Chains A and B, each alone.
Chain A
């Protein structure tokens, strides 16, 4: 033999010792449906919507890399603030759907929203039996707003 013989010891037995130690240690497993894992407060679980803040500017829908945000709205005239003034025109949101079967959780929509209408929520239990049911409407997105953690104050950052 020209090559030097590599003796496989003690490496092989180091591995054996490691697996034995791992076997007798309790496995760090959360038994999910019975025990709920508590995600970290700022976990990116799902995107929640604050309807009141939305101005139907469509920035999020346009920036979305896989076009999973569907927005529809209409202009609505409101009475002028002073008598004799020009009537106000206000954009109203009719539809705000996010298709979570397409969403890749990049968070660009949250970043790009100029009026803080979109938030990350740590909620994660929204699986569905059918892919088509993953298209969630603005009522559902508003429900998740309740789970959004309070933003830390500027001083504490």
Chain B
């Protein structure tokens, strides 16, 4: 296939998937959150169950005036939402949805993911700094401070997976999980890394991922009761929509990473080759949906931590545990 045609096709598919996915996740959040609070949530928009509520909200946001404070640094203020959105979209370049259903299977896929997914903090810091608003600045600084807490456990948790898989390519990691683990009565059993002893790593990764998404219980950067939405305070119109979609798209992105690294990605035991290219995306979306639901579930259940409590959690618990996890995984890798 022509290189450019393929590129455009991949772009359209990824954009379509991420943006519709974000809308679906927003809807799921509205609905699940409502029902967790004994409410019904959106009900009339779209005729049934309020399915069109996120669309209507999005259209409303687009109609709003694109305001910028007088003292704002306009260039930085304008670019910040797009930096956040880009870092989210760029995650999907390497996420495999099937053996061939991948934007570009980089050799350093896991490394690329970690690098690109923490770029969103740069956008948040840009937004906080350029808004010329004390709440925004506090929010941006909190986001930057939070980075110190979650980035290290995130990286260390992924390192353990990379050691176990022996490769940084995400396709390679999925294949490592589909390989035969042991044989019982002639039946070849394969298992995702979650079952092959990465439970601790998975939990550390998910905690750090929620912190990276700055969602409850780690939503200190936007904390509406303290900072009136933090770095989002001054945003309106399409730029706010970008941040909003970006948040939900990165929920999908990080869930996709977790699904690939720990839950076996697109792999279905017993299937291989071209069938996986067809079934894979469905399996992947199912796993992403479960993880996204857990993130939503946590958001509507737990209270917010303080910034120092997150630091304590990260440096007293997550990082030592992640290091121990690496050591254990490495010992098992060498010994067996």
Query: Hey, which bits of chain A sit against chain B, CB under 8 A?
Result: 1, 12, 15-16, 18-20, 22-25, 27-29, 31
In the complex, the answer to whether A27 meets B34 with C-beta atoms within 8 Å is yes
In the complex, the answer to whether B298 meets A22 with C-beta atoms within 8 Å is no
Closest Cβ of chain A to B188, distance in Å, is 35
For the complex, is B300 an interface residue (Cβ under 8 Å from A)?
yes
In the complex, the answer to whether A22 meets B302 with C-beta atoms within 8 Å is no
What residue in chain A is nearest B313 (Cβ atoms)? A8
In the complex, the answer to whether A20 meets B43 with C-beta atoms within 8 Å is no
Q: CA of A25 to CA of B34 in the docked complex: distance in angstroms?
A: 12
Known contacts A19-B300, A19-B301, A27-B34; 20 further A-B pairs (Cβ under 8 A):
A12-B301, A12-B302, A15-B301, A15-B302, A16-B297, A16-B301, A18-B301, A19-B297, A22-B37, A22-B38, A23-B32, A23-B36, A27-B35, A27-B38, A27-B40, A29-B38, A29-B39, A29-B40, A31-B40, A31-B43
Residue picked from B36, B37, B316, most chain A C-beta under 10 Å:
B36
Q: CA of A5 to CA of B297 in the docked complex: distance in angstroms?
A: 26
What residue in chain B is nearest A1 (Cβ atoms)? B316
Closest 5 CB pairs of A and B: A19-B36, A23-B35, A19-B301, A15-B301, A23-B36
Query: Hey, which bits of chain B sit against chain A, CB under 8 A?
Result: 32, 34-40, 43, 297-298, 300-302, 316
* Residues of A contacting B34 in the complex (Cβ-Cβ under 8 angstroms): 27
Closest Cβ of chain B to A60, distance in Å, is 39
* Residues of A contacting B298 in the complex (Cβ-Cβ under 8 angstroms): 16
* Residues of A contacting B38 in the complex (Cβ-Cβ under 8 angstroms): 22, 25, 27-29
- Judged by DSSP, the binding face of A is helix
* Residues of B contacting A18 in the complex (Cβ-Cβ under 8 angstroms): 301
Closest Cβ of chain A to B44, distance in Å, is 10
Q: Given A12-B302, A27-B35, is A20 in contact with B40 using a C-beta cutoff of 8 Å?
A: no
Residue picked from B34, B38, B316, most chain A C-beta under 10 Å:
B38
* Residues of B contacting A25 in the complex (Cβ-Cβ under 8 angstroms): 38
Residue picked from A1, A19, A22, A27, most chain B C-beta under 10 Å:
A19
* Residues of B contacting A20 in the complex (Cβ-Cβ under 8 angstroms): 36, 297
In the complex, the answer to whether B36 meets A22 with C-beta atoms within 8 Å is yes
* Residues of B contacting A12 in the complex (Cβ-Cβ under 8 angstroms): 301-302
* Residues of A contacting B39 in the complex (Cβ-Cβ under 8 angstroms): 27, 29
Closest Cβ of chain B to A5, distance in Å, is 8
Residue picked from A20, A23, A28, A29, most chain B C-beta under 10 Å:
A23
What residue in chain B is nearest A11 (Cβ atoms)? B302
* Residues of B contacting A22 in the complex (Cβ-Cβ under 8 angstroms): 35-38
What residue in chain A is nearest B35 (Cβ atoms)? A23
Can you report 25 residue pairs joining A to B where beta carbons are below 8 Å apart? Answer: A1-B316, A12-B301, A12-B302, A15-B301, A16-B298, A18-B301, A19-B36, A19-B300, A20-B36, A22-B35, A22-B36, A22-B37, A22-B38, A23-B32, A23-B36, A24-B35, A27-B34, A27-B38, A27-B39, A27-B40, A28-B38, A29-B38, A29-B40, A31-B40, A31-B43
* Residues of B contacting A28 in the complex (Cβ-Cβ under 8 angstroms): 38
Q: CA of A16 to CA of B316 in the docked complex: distance in angstroms?
A: 24
Q: CA of A89 to CA of B301 in the docked complex: distance in angstroms?
A: 70
What residue in chain B is nearest A12 (Cβ atoms)? B302
* Residues of A contacting B40 in the complex (Cβ-Cβ under 8 angstroms): 27, 29, 31
* Residues of B contacting A1 in the complex (Cβ-Cβ under 8 angstroms): 316
Closest Cβ of chain B to A27, distance in Å, is 5
What residue in chain A is nearest B39 (Cβ atoms)? A27
Q: CA of A24 to CA of B40 in the docked complex: distance in angstroms?
A: 12
Q: CA of A15 to CA of B18 in the docked complex: distance in angstroms?
A: 31
* Residues of B contacting A27 in the complex (Cβ-Cβ under 8 angstroms): 34-35, 38-40
* Residues of A contacting B302 in the complex (Cβ-Cβ under 8 angstroms): 12, 15
